[in-house]
Structure 1
Amino acid sequence: MSLQILTKEDLINFKIELLAELRTLMKGNEPNKKKWLRSKEVEQLLKISSGTLQNYRINGTIKWRKIGSTYFYCLDALNDSFDDNSFSPVS
């Protein structure tokens, strides 16, 4: 049995390589990011109730589309609402 000793420099190099790999993996996932969210996902994202989300739909605060019986919300439109400071979620 051979004994290998890890040095502080070995651990620092491992950390650098690991962080570089994680950055590469995260950049690769961005194009696959969901473009449309369902109601439950928006409620969790904004930390609001389903009633509040319904009020936002009725008031036109949030843009949405309905397909069948399911409501969908464009993630880009939600982000634009936050960027414009025209939207402030209140639960």
Structure 2
Amino acid sequence: MTVELITKDDLEQFRQTLLHDLKGLLTKRTEEPQKYLKSYQVKNMLKISGGTLHTLRANGTLKFTRIGHIIYYNYEDIMQLMEGPAKNLKR
């Protein structure tokens, strides 16, 4: 059985490496938007109230998926809604 000694310098080097790796993970940003958004994110994005969001769901203007008690919205559907009816007209 071999015995390996760990010195304070070894621990300090490990700490520095770990901190560097953690900072890299925390500062990494994704450029692509999330595919699905929650209600509060959609309200902030469209600058609408909860009641308005409910109306958009109820009249079928905005598609949604409910999983448990959480409602999710497809990002692409929201972008189409923001583009307005002019983009959806066929001539």
1:86 shift after superposition: 2.2
Alpha-carbon distance between aligned partners in 2 of 1:58 and 1:75, rounded to the nearest angstrom: 18
Q: Distance in 2 between matches of 1:52 and 1:80?
A: 17
Tell me which amino acid in the other structure corresponds to 1:76: E
Q: CA deviation at 1:56?
A: 0.4
Residue 81 of structure 2 is aligned to residue 81 of structure 1 = yes
Specify the alignment match of 1:29 in structure 2.
Answer: 30
The size of the alignment, in residue pairs, is 60
Partner of 2:46 in structure 1?
46
Provide the C-alpha distance between the structure 1 equivalents of 2:48 and 2:40, rounded to a whole number of angstroms: 10
| Over 6 Å off, 4+ runs | none
Q: What value does the CA root-mean-square deviation take over the aligned residues? A: 2.3
Q: Give, in whole Å, the separation in 2 of the partners of 1:60 and 1:86.
A: 14
Give the distance between the partners of 2:82 and 2:44, measured in 1 at CA: 16
Q: Secondary structure at the match of 1:29?
A: coil
TM-score, length basis structure 2: 0.57
CA distance in structure 2 between the aligned counterparts of 1:82 and 1:74, rounded to whole angstroms: 13
Tell me the secondary structure at the aligned position of residue 62 of structure 1: coil
Q: Distance in 1 between matches of 2:44 and 2:82?
A: 16
Gap runs ≥5 in structure 2: 1-28, 87-91
Give the structure 2 partner of residue 68 of structure 1. Answer: 68
Structure 1: gaps (5+ residues) = 1-27
The residue identity in structure 2 corresponding to 1:60 is G
Displacement, 1:80?
1.8
